[in-house]
Structures are given as structure tokens and as C-alpha cells.
Structure 1
């Protein structure tokens, strides 16, 4: 490979370009070559057009994304890059970082600066890098953007975040790259967007980087913490000092005693919840739920971790030999089975119905007699008559299971179709009174503030007593967001859904019901 070929290889590769032609300042202010850390390198090697990054603090991601914008501006003339942050102070910091990186690039390579003000770098090759703050009107409107970086997106008001993201997506070039990166900040639009991307429910590719992935950035801090521990305890931090929890953490690939010593001192200063938000080990740890949560946050997090440790996943379709054809069509998309039907076993269904117009979800939760969640179905685009057909097929598949169907919304239509067309009668009933105060029994479950509180509290009790085994990550996510308001109302926080929670509480009604009805 001759000199020109070597140069073109570097010119056409952002990692090689950054590492060969840019410099950063080290801890003592000395300029050194910008050698990407493992997190920065992994992202650049695997990014897509639409990316969302959940990360631990101070890992250097925003610096590498600033370098990436400079790479595009220099190597692709007439490119427009947009750098956004959640507040003015952070926007200025990103702009200053851009200028510092630009000034380290060899003169022969970088285009001349035509404009250098508080918000924009304009180059002689026609490229522009603009820095703005989220919340300003018309961000990105009228532009055709090669690269968009949104920093600390979780700290942007959810309504603003959603509205402006839509505008930015429309401004992105077909070959453009959009990168959303943030530490966590409670349960909000960023939380929803990240977990939807993780479940492949949107166009974004999700990345998560924990404090082990960014450990190379904290070597000096690790040394300081070790020294502080020794000053306090008169001996070096060792395995003999580890708690049972820390001994388990040490088994994780990449974990070291230095990291654990640093972790312990960080937690002693800020508390475990704040540490997990700013320096999460898993994406589950990152999001702090509100203090008004109905379900114990630690128990929910422990249940999520158990699914990861046990590698819980749904049964592959080819192992479900007798699954009806209509259920096969939606299996792995909206239907997931964790435990197949057992002959003679009684199963309990909880069913929450929606109108199927991309809002709330139509949900089926299936419990066995021991309280294990064995199957789930959720879809926010299924019409009530089709949902009734799916309920019928799945109910008959699970030994003509007992159904408890919430009557609100489309519930009445689903009940009528099950009874009249499918002759499915194994449903719970409730007592009501006619105009003459004569008692009568009606199919389904009548949800009101009183009955909702009762069935939710039954679910809380079984969960906290360890009598409910949840195999659904989606349900656990809803449980984290399910709260009680000051007026006593129980519902999902913010923009979240609670259809899975409601369906599970209804399935418990079926499980605890004494009677089953002949089909």
C-alpha cells in the first residue's frame, strides 16, 4: 500500500481519521492523540442511521460525537451537522469542544473557518456545524442534515423532546446519522424511546454502556478512592473487604477491585439510587421510578435482573406443535409463550381490551395455577372482533381457561363475540342489579375505583410475597411506572401504559376464582 492509498484509507474511516488527525487534552491539560476508548470505538463501529445511547456519566461519548461531526464536515463538503443539548451551558461546552478539536487538526487538512461565533462553525468547503439548545423553536426546520447529535436528551421536557425529535427526523438526509445520547433521568420519553428501540419497536438502534465499559476514563479517580479507603481503614482494599453483593459483582467480566472500591465510595456519598442512575451497571438499574410507585421498586428491579440471569425467553415457535394457525401468525410479534400447556392444568386469563387504534393495548395475560406468567399477548392495532378470535383460540389452547375480561372500552364487544359466535362460556361474572333491584349476574369484570384498588392490591400482595412469577420484561417495565396519585388514582406515570398491569390483576381474579363454567 503506497502513501496515497494509506491516506485514503484514513480519510475514509472516521476512527482512523480521528485517531490520526485530532487531539484531546488529558487530565493535566496536555494535548495528546485522540485514541478512542472501547465505548467510543464500539459505537463508531456499529452505529446505524438512527441511534439511541444510554450511558454512564463522563465516559467521553459527547467528545467522540463532536469529533464525528468534524469528520463529516471536513470529508464531505457542503454537509450540515447539528449539535443539540438540553441547556445553554451544555451547548456552549459542546461548541468549545468542537473548536478545541478543530484547532488540533493539521492545517493542510482542515478547511478555512469563514464564520466562528457562539453557535456556528462555517467552513470554506461549504460545510456548517451548528450548536443549539433543545426547546428553541423550529430546531432543524428547513435544514438538510448529515449529522445530528442530541446530548442529555433525557433531561429535555418529554413533550418538547417528542415534538422536536419528529422535526429533526424529517430534516435528516437519507444517508444521515442521528445520535441521541444521555444518562438516565427517571421514567420519561427518553426511557420509552430507549426500551422501544431495544425491543425493535422503532427505527432506532439501542446502545448501552455501563461504568465497566467506561472504566478507562476513571483510572485516576480509582487511585484516589483506593488511597482514601486506605486512609480511613488503615489497609488496602481487598477481597476480604467485599460484601456478598460485591463478591457477586466481582464475577462480572471486566469488574475489578479498583472499580468496586470506587463504586462503594460513590454510593456512600450519593446513595445507591443516584449512583445507579448516573453510573448504571445495567439499563434496568439506570431508571429511578417515582416515590409514589405502587410496586416496590427494588423487587421489580430484582425480578428484571432474574430474567437476565436466567436468560428467560419465550419458547421458539417450532417447539409448539399444536399451536393454532391464527396464533402462529402473531407468535413472536404480539404473542409470547414461556410455558406450554400441560394436560389437566387450570389456567387463568386476564384480558384488557382496547379499540385497536394505536393507543392503548389489547392485552392477554395467562397464569398457571401456581401464579407463573406462562403467556402474554399485546397489540395496540388489533380490532375488537379479531382480538375476540385470538382470545378464543388461546383460551381453548390452554385447556378452556377461565377468562376475566374488563368490560370497559371494547370489552363488551369481545365478551359478546366470545359467547355468541365462539360459544365460549368459561368467564367470570359479577353481580349487579336491574331497575327493580333484582340481582343478576353479568359476564366480565366491572372496573371502578373501588374494584380496581382491590385487584391491584391483590397483585401487589402476591408479588411481594413471592407468589407471582413474572416472565415478562414488558410487564415489569409497566410495574415500574405504575403509581398512585395524590387523589388516590392508580395509573401509569407520565406517558406510560398500564394495560399489562391491569390484565395481570384480572388474571389473578381468574386464578383465585372458585368456580369454572362448562363450555
Structure 2
């Protein structure tokens, strides 16, 4: 029953394309299953997701009582367009399903009795539902009323200074009852907060369902093929990889030439074929991202049994669905392990505290812990992790907050096998001399797959590890904490043998001293 304004200026019934149908089916399947609907969409440009999301929200709000819908676009122009879309829906539906509506403005559509007479309002109040459309440029959003249906449109293009505050206020106001809808959608815009939300969804770190839609899923993205059309080598590879036809490739050529200033890299961001293409790096990537993506694909999704929690108070490592410890291989009797630990400031939103557990002989990744903690708490978690893995050789980066972590491990926890950078200097030191060696060994390990790696987080960071003015580091807005922690573990593994020998001799001497004391008594 809904109508839209088409690209050629006509008013026609809304007919969903394939991508829109996939999205709509997911929304209504979750509603029918009694679930919260939480979806994050990464998409190519102009695929019609605002249109279908607003259609669903109009349907749900205009046919039910006491529902609040809240839509936020990136700027006032875009929010005006979305409001016009709702108005067109309302004006063109049959009278039998058109609810009463008060006088509306550019910010709110209110479905209730427009009469100014109280007795008429009491007799027939209307639905008392409403749709509010605002711009992300606004100073304050959604603080005073419950939201049942939320659409955050083109989030990657919201003002950077307001994005986190707006998202927090909106989702705090969004009802947690079954059947409520929260949709985040955007084209990518570099390494920003939207990318972090998308990555968290793909890793199962939040409750949003990630949905990606490639440019070639849009039926309109095709052009007639000229008689002299010949495929380039790149186009042949794309055709084979994504099962494209020549009309789609001709549209791609046209769009690169006319809309992207001839830059195929820009096309990949605006019209990605897969998620990794969407987030454009600010520098040259250290790795071949297609190769890294293949490694990620080979790993598959995290298993349900991987998550554990470190209870440093009771001294336990226990299964927990939302635990901070991911275990790929449990400790085995008689095996030796190494832990490389990177440290951060311990605050939400900053860098992460990360530590990797490697098996000494094979170099296999056995576990990773990642999170934000105060330095003393991180030290206590590392102590318990090291003891869990058969008294692992534990090397903590001693730069910045690392000294405090090491203080907890040495003085409070009395951890028995701490790596020492040099005599009297605990921990691993990352400096101008050691960092290039660390990065070089790390690159070799990833490129040549020298050791079994089971961690998706590590490969994800490889996708955004770039050469920035001759220095290998994370792209702006990204992290390389996993890379640094794993690199420290690789360096420790090279000298682990002598440390385990020292520890064994120390334990043997301690046992002999104990035995002599028992005999004397």
C-alpha cells in the first residue's frame, strides 16, 4: 500500500528489491520469534535501506497504539528527506488504514485525534503513536521518552564529536522488550566508530546481527554492454569470484570513471564487494588483505565453548559465554607455555590489555585474553592465567603502565617465572631497537603461516596494520594491541628454553632444601 518517489520523479508503489527483501524478512522473523530486533547494516551506496526501514517503521507505528519511533539521519537535509518519505507514505495509503494525525512539522508525525476539543479527544483519542525524525547535528537526542522503533541512518557520516553521545542516549532510550527494533545502517567512512560497531557485531561482542550487502546485489546497478566491450584481467577475476555478468561490470566501469574520479580504490569503499573493501585504509597495508581475509574465512566463526572467565579471587578459570578469555587449546600436562602481554591504560574506549598464550614447542596459539582493566587487576588475571598454563613464562611489556602490572605480579602475586629484560629489569621492553625486529618476525609468522593461529582478533588487526611514514602501526581509529602482544610472545619463545631450565633448577634446589630440612627435623 505504500508509495515512493522514484529516481525518475514518478510516484509509484514500493516494490522491494532482493536486498530489501532479505532485510525485511530478517526483521519480521525476529519479531515473530519474540526477539529483540537489533541489526547493523554495512552496504553499498543507494541500495534503498532507508526506504525499506522507514516503510517497516511506518507500518509498525501507524497500525499500533502507543508506539514511539525515532529516526536520526546524518544531517538536516537527509532528515528532511526521510520525513518527506513518511509523509508520502501517509498521504497515499488507503483511508481505511490511515490513522488520525495531528498537524505535523518537519520533526514529528503524531497519530492522534487532531481535534482541540477535549471530549472528542477522550471519545476517540487515536493511536497516540508518533514518528520523530531528527538530525545527528542536533545538540541533544532522545533523552525523555521510550523508543520502540529506532533507525540510525548513515552513522559513519554523523558528526564525529557527537556520534558516541548520540548513540548512547538513543540506545539507552530504546526499549528492551521483545519486538522492539533497532537498526544501524551506513556506507563505510574509513576507520571510525561505525567500523568498531560492525566489527563487534561480526565477532559476537554485541547482540546486533551484522548484514552486509554488496553493490552487485542491487538490480539497478547494470548498464548495456557496448559492442567493443572487453574484460580486463581484474574484471575477469571479479566476474569469476562474484558470478557477475558483463552489464554489471560495465556499470562498475561507468561508475569508477564518472563518480569516483577514475579511482577503483574509492569505488571499493563506496560500492564494496565484501566487508573488508568498505573500510578504506589511510596508508598502505602491511599485509595482502585478500590473503588475510582468506585466513579469517578459514577460521570460521568463534565456537560456543571458547569463552572463559578468570576468577582471580577464587583462583579459577571457568566457562562463561561472555568471558574475557578465549581458549583454543586447554593446557596439557608436561607441556610448556609462553605468555606475551601488552598493557594499556585500563579505561573503556582506549587501547586494550591483551595477552597471548603460545605452546613453546609448536608455537600454537592456545589462548588470548583481551579487555580493559586497572593495572593491579590485569596483573592478578595474568598471574592466574600463567599458573593455569603450567607456570608459563610470562613476559609483560614494561613500557608505560606495564611497570605497575609487573609490580602486582612480582610483589603481590609472587609469580614464579617472570621474564626479565636485563638483570634487575623485569618485563619486555619495546623500543626503537626491538620494535622493528618484533614487527619483522610477526610479518614472517603471518605471511608464511609458521605457527597455528586460531584467533580472529589477531587477523582482524592485520587488516588495518599499515605503513605510516615508514613505521608499521594501526591505522587511525584502530588497534594493534593483539599484534604487539603476539609479537612479544614470539620474541619470548626464542629464548624460552633457558628460562625453563633456570626455573627447573630453581624448583629442584628448592625441593632439595626442603628434603634436607625434613631429614634434620
TM-score band w.r.t. shorter chain: 0.7 to 0.9
2:344 is aligned with 1:364: no
Q: Are 1:182 and 2:178 an aligned pair?
A: no
Alignment size in residue pairs: 464
Q: Secondary structure at the match of 2:139?
A: coil
Change beyond 3 A, Cα 1:246–1:345: farther
Q: TM-score, normalised by structure 2?
A: 0.75
2:481 to 499, 502, 507: 499
- For the residue of structure 2 that corresponds to 1:137, the secondary structure is coil
Give the superposition deviation at 1:407.
Answer: 2.0
Matched, 1:349 2:331: no
Alpha-carbon distance in 1 for matches of 2:286, 2:333: 35
The question of 1:201 aligning with 2:205 is answered: yes
Q: Secondary structure at the match of 1:459?
A: helix
Alpha-carbon distance in structure 2 between the residues aligned to 1:259 and 1:370: 47
Match of 2:225 in 1: 227
- CA, structure 1 residues 231+169, in 2 after alignment: closer, same or farther (shift >3 Å)? same
Contact 2:188 2:195 in 1 (8 A): yes
Residues 331 and 389 in structure 2, CA contact (< 8 A), matched pair in contact too: no
CA shift for structure 1 position 328: 4.5
Inter-partner Cα distance in structure 2 for 1:274 and 1:339: 41
**Other-structure match for 1:444:** 427
Report Cα offsets for 1:30-54 as digits up to 9, x if no partner: 4443233333233333333433221
**What secondary structure does 1:503 align onto?**
helix
Q: Structure 1: which 5+ residue stretches go unaligned?
A: 1-20, 319-324, 432-439
Could you tell me how far apart the structure 2 residues matched to 1:455 and 1:375 are?
20
How far 1:415 sits from its partner (Å)?
A: 4.6
Q: Residue 243 of structure 1 corresponds to which residue in structure 2? A: 236
CA distance in 1, matches of 2:282, 2:193: 15
Alpha carbons of 1:395 and 1:157: their partners in 2 closer, same or farther (altered >3 Å)?
A: farther
Note if contact 2:39-2:184 (Cα within 8 Å) is conserved in structure 1: yes
Taking structure 1 as the reference length, the TM-score comes to 0.75
Against the structure 1 CA distance between its residues 372 and 108, is the aligned structure 2 distance closer, same or farther, given a 3 Å change threshold?
same
1:476 has 2:478 as partner: no
**SS of equivalent residue, structure 1 residue 501:** helix
Residues 82 and 145, structure 1, Cα contact 8 Å, conserved in 2: yes
Per mean C-alpha deviation after superposition, the further-off stretch among 62-71 and 197-206 is 197-206
Cα distance, 1:190 vs structure 2: 0.8
From the superposition, tell whether residues 210 and 118 of structure 1 become closer, same or farther in structure 2 (CA, over 3 Å). same
Match of 2:493 in 1: 511
Gaps of 5+ in 2: 28-35, 114-125, 308-314, 504-521
CA displacement 1:465-486 (0-9 Å, x = unmatched): 6657654221233344456777
RMSD: 3.8
C-alpha spacing 1:301/1:344, structure 2 compared with 1 (3 Å): farther
In the alignment, which residue of structure 2 is the partner of 1:335?
A: 325
Q: Which residue of 2 aligns with 1:302?
A: 291
Tell me what 2:38 maps to.
Answer: 50
* 1:36 maps to 2:40: no
How far did residue 61 of structure 1 move?
0.8
Cα distance in 2 for partners of 1:196, 1:241 equals 32
Q: 2:174 aligns with which of 161, 172, 175?
A: 172
Structure 1 residues 260, 174: CA separation in 2 closer, same or farther (over 3 Å shift)? Answer: same
